[in-house]
Structure 1
Amino acid sequence: MYLENPVIIKVNVSFRNDLRIKDYTAKLVKSLLISGNPSLKEIFAKGESLSPKPIHITPLYTYNVDRNSERKQEEKIEAIYSRFIPKKSVAKPPKINKLKPVKIEAGRKYFFYIGTNMKLLNDVLLGLYDINRFIFGKETVDIDQLSYEIRYVDVEKESEEILEILETAKENYMKVVFNSPTLLKDPLVVMRRKKKKLLLPLPEAILSTPFLMVLIDRGKVRRNIFIRCMRYVKSIFDIPYTTLKTINLVWYVYDNEVLPAMIGYVKYFIDYQILQYAQSVMEMKYGLDFMELLSKVTVLAQVYGVGDGRATGFGHVTIKMNTIQ
């Protein structure tokens, strides 16, 4: 369901009219897709199923010239949405009038991503086919141009490259970049029907959803196995003190409500001894190759997103496994 031929679609779009949007721009993306194919509404709707939705979208992005770059013409990807990033240690929610609407310029090139599986691919492409106009709130949105590129993700090949790093180097780190606001929940919290949102980059919270996906596909989705995996992930990935400088709180608007999320990046150092211990215990107790699971989880996280609200534009990440030089 998740591992078999997942795809990432990059959609390039420009609009005929200027738009001023205060609401999170992933809602615009969702409206575009549902207008093109109304059957997608059911897929995006909140469900009671414990299985994660096999679809992920992002907010709008555009390219801006990075003036801080040594090469003055180098382009920088910028997520487009109304936001407020507090200075210093202020955590009080801002008033909604503090967040100014973003301007979507007519004729300018924007893009967004969709991650899904082969089963939903035709439905998603139907949502992109021959869509010229749709309603977003009180606005009529006219599309000028729309095109897309499909990348078929070779999970086996990409996970093998990650696995090689995990198996051969004893000093590794994993860098996770949050390319859109991210909402996490702690998978190890018990006795709570509804887990509270988490604004700390705990590794088990980041990897919990793609881990669940891999276990579902392997037919090993048992609570004791999942919890053990999460405890190992928590122990293997060390959070450095520099995270205090690289992770930021961001306030955004969703349905006229100001809400918090997390942006930035975090670099985890990998404890090789605990990784080896987890590998031997998981193989002995459950017949699972933990390093292989972890490598596939890393690939799926970049297709389907991480955390909560993946189908509404949150949790879009880039993950790199590297060896410390």
Structure 2
Amino acid sequence: MPLIRLKLSISPFITTDFTGKFVKSFFIAANRELEEIFEDKKYPSPKPLRITPLLEEKKEVPIYSKVINRPKPKDNPSPISIGGVYYVYLGYEQSLEPKINLTVAKLLGGVQLEYGKKVNVKLLEYERIENDVPKDFNSVKIYFISPAIFVDPFVKVSQIEKDRVKRFIPFPPLIFSVNVYELFKDKYKRNIIRLSYSLVESHTVLNTVSRVWYYYDGKWLPGVIGYVKFFLRKNIHKYTKIAIRKILQNAIEMGVGSGRAAGFGFVKMKFDEQNP
């Protein structure tokens, strides 16, 4: 699936909300055909595109109100001043290419939208990102750049009624459940099991992730940031290794967990490749 990075100039405004909401808004302003995908709750899930929040230009740090490893905040966050040059990543299914091309063309010319005040957004440059999973690797570090909201695969496997209970342990089936469903819908249970035994967590895994409170629609909500390291189990079946590579590739391009079309679950990966 294509993944592009957009470099944008944005006129000044102030917000307290998760900046993924602003990103959705200017994409819709550029192309109204995207509104159904972004906003319609009846649109089939998982959605065929993902975005990120605004990312700082130099280190691509996401911009949003947050509190890390502390109790749930009781007060509203302080306003964040936006204005200048930022990056945004956009991943999407190939079938959306015409809509995305039109969106990019509109942004190149610049768009104006109402977001508390009139805000101008202009695309300065964009590039297609090629970041393939190596054919052979020993381990992978997965960095949760924007808050990850894990989805419990065992609700679907158990065929019980869906609930709103959230899971926060960085266990591969929880992290990648949406990616497995997107790729292997007909063999979901089998590939969840493959994922469970193929990626083995480092003993440091609970020390390298953090709970983050982010502010969205007037509420403080919990997510996961930081990074996790997994080792690829030795001597797994060739087909299983291929499936794991596909799952990781999908996560790079489309993100992980729920809320990917709102800017959540943006990940980057670093692989320790096997010596030839």
- Considering the TM-score relative to the shorter chain, is it more than 0.5? yes
Check 1:153–1:213 CA distance in 2 against 1; reply closer, same or farther (3 A cut): farther
Q: 1:295 aligns with which of 245, 250, 262?
A: 245
Q: 2:189 aligns with which of 222, 227, 247?
A: 227
Cα displacement (A) at 1:293: 1.8
Kept in 2, the 8 Å contact 1:33–1:124? The answer is no
Q: Is 1:81 aligned with 2:81?
A: no
Q: 1:151 aligns with which of 114, 123, 128?
A: 128
> Pairwise mapping of residues 102-251 of structure 1 onto structure 2 (< 5 A)?
102-105=80-83, 108-128=84-104, 129=106, 130-136=109-115, 138-143=116-121, 145-151=122-128, 153=130, 158-159=132-133, 162-165=134-137, 172-189=138-155, 190=158, 191-215=160-184, 221-222=185-186, 225-251=187-213
SS of aligned partner of 1:204: helix
Cα displacement (A) at 1:42: 0.5
Cα displacement (A) at 1:49: 6.1
Q: Is 1:100 aligned with 2:78?
A: yes
SS of aligned partner of 1:28: helix
Check 1:293–1:236 CA distance in 2 against 1; reply closer, same or farther (3 A cut): closer
In structure 2, what is the Cα distance between the partners aligned to 1:188 and 1:205? 9
In structure 2, what is the Cα distance between the partners aligned to 1:174 and 1:230? 18
In structure 2, what is the Cα distance between the partners aligned to 1:22 and 1:111? 19
Cα displacement (A) at 1:204: 1.0
In structure 1, what is the Cα distance between the partners aligned to 2:94 and 2:151? 28
Kept in 2, the 8 Å contact 1:185–1:195? The answer is no
Check 1:150–1:118 CA distance in 2 against 1; reply closer, same or farther (3 A cut): farther
Q: Is 1:308 aligned with 2:258?
A: yes
Cα displacement (A) at 1:324: 7.6
Larger Rg: 1
Cα displacement (A) at 1:36: 1.2
Cα displacement (A) at 1:134: 0.2
SS of aligned partner of 2:176: helix
Cα displacement (A) at 1:199: 1.7
In structure 2, what is the Cα distance between the partners aligned to 1:266 and 1:309? 20
SS of aligned partner of 1:197: coil
Cα displacement (A) at 1:227: 1.1
> Pairwise mapping of residues 33-72 of structure 1 onto structure 2 (< 5 A)?
33-48=27-42, 51-64=45-58
Listed as ranges, the gaps of 5+ residues in structure 1 are: 1-5, 65-75, 166-171, 216-220, 280-288
Check 1:256–1:211 CA distance in 2 against 1; reply closer, same or farther (3 A cut): same
In structure 2, what is the Cα distance between the partners aligned to 1:104 and 1:152? 25
Letter in 2 for 1:206: I
- Aligned equivalent of 1:283: none
SS of aligned partner of 2:163: coil
Kept in 1, the 8 Å contact 2:136–2:274? The answer is no
Kept in 1, the 8 Å contact 2:14–2:81? The answer is yes
Letter in 2 for 1:93: K
- Aligned equivalent of 1:69: none
- Aligned equivalent of 1:30: 24
Kept in 1, the 8 Å contact 2:4–2:91? The answer is yes
Kept in 2, the 8 Å contact 1:186–1:195? The answer is no
Aligned residues: 269
Kept in 2, the 8 Å contact 1:79–1:180? The answer is yes
Letter in 1 for 2:94: M
Kindly report structure 1 stretches of 4+ aligned residues shifted beyond 3 Å.
46-51
TM-score, normalization: structure 1? 0.76
In structure 1, what is the Cα distance between the partners aligned to 2:111 and 2:232? 48
